[in-house]
Amino acid sequence: MKTNPFIPKCLLCLLIVYFFNNYPVFSQNMPKVKWQVEKEVQDKEINLILAFKIDNDWTFYAINDDSVSPKISAQINLQANDDCFITIGNATSNNSISEFDKELNRNTSYFMNEGAFTQRIIKKGSCLIKAEISYLVSKKYMTEQGEGGVVFKVKDTILIPLD
């Protein structure tokens, strides 16, 4: 008796669906970050403000001025197909919390619940800017064995029209 080759593939698909529905997927534990872009325009100079809100109990690491540990610091990269803007200086963190982190043995800057980054640019023409934001988020929690935590390295992309 010949078996239908479709049946084993179908069973495999059902098994995969069952697995992902019944076991936590790593990305389901990641926080939700909602971005909003504001523009403060003064002639050809623009302050691009990349504001965000993050789920409660999550720490969003800010841009640090020192280069001791760039792995912790958020990074913003602006790109466009045209030569439509010039950046002025580096992006900065707005209203971040700074304190000494005992586990990292260094000063860190971070946000809780919400925050923003500002990048000044000079507009040379109309275009679409692609903002790539790489950042670190973490969450601490208590377990029966003591304090635990989880850390994610995240990269988001935002499209910003310059008209």
Query: What is the Cα gyration radius of the chain?
Result: 21
pLDDT value for 14: 44
pLDDT higher at 161 or 67: 161
Residue 9 CA from chain centroid, whole number: 37
Q: Residue 134 class from Cβ within 10 Å (0-12 exposed, 13-18 middle, 19+ buried)?
A: middle
Q: Where are the domains of the chain?
A: 31-162
Q: Which CA distances in Å does 142 have to 116, 127, 137, 147?
A: 29, 48, 17, 4
Model confidence at 47, pLDDT cuts 50, 70, 90, reads very high
pLDDT value for 18: 47
Over residues 70-78, the mean pLDDT reads 82
Triad 117, 34, 107: Cα angle to 5°: 45
Fold designation for 31-162: Immunoglobulin-like (2.60.40)
What's the pLDDT tens digit per position in 99-157?
887 877 778 888 999 999 999 999 999 999 999 999 988 887 766 777 777 888 899 99
Residue 52 CA from chain centroid, whole number: 9
pLDDT value for 72: 73
pTM for the model: 0.74
pLDDT value for 76: 92
CA distance 80 to 58: 31
pLDDT higher at 68 or 29: 29
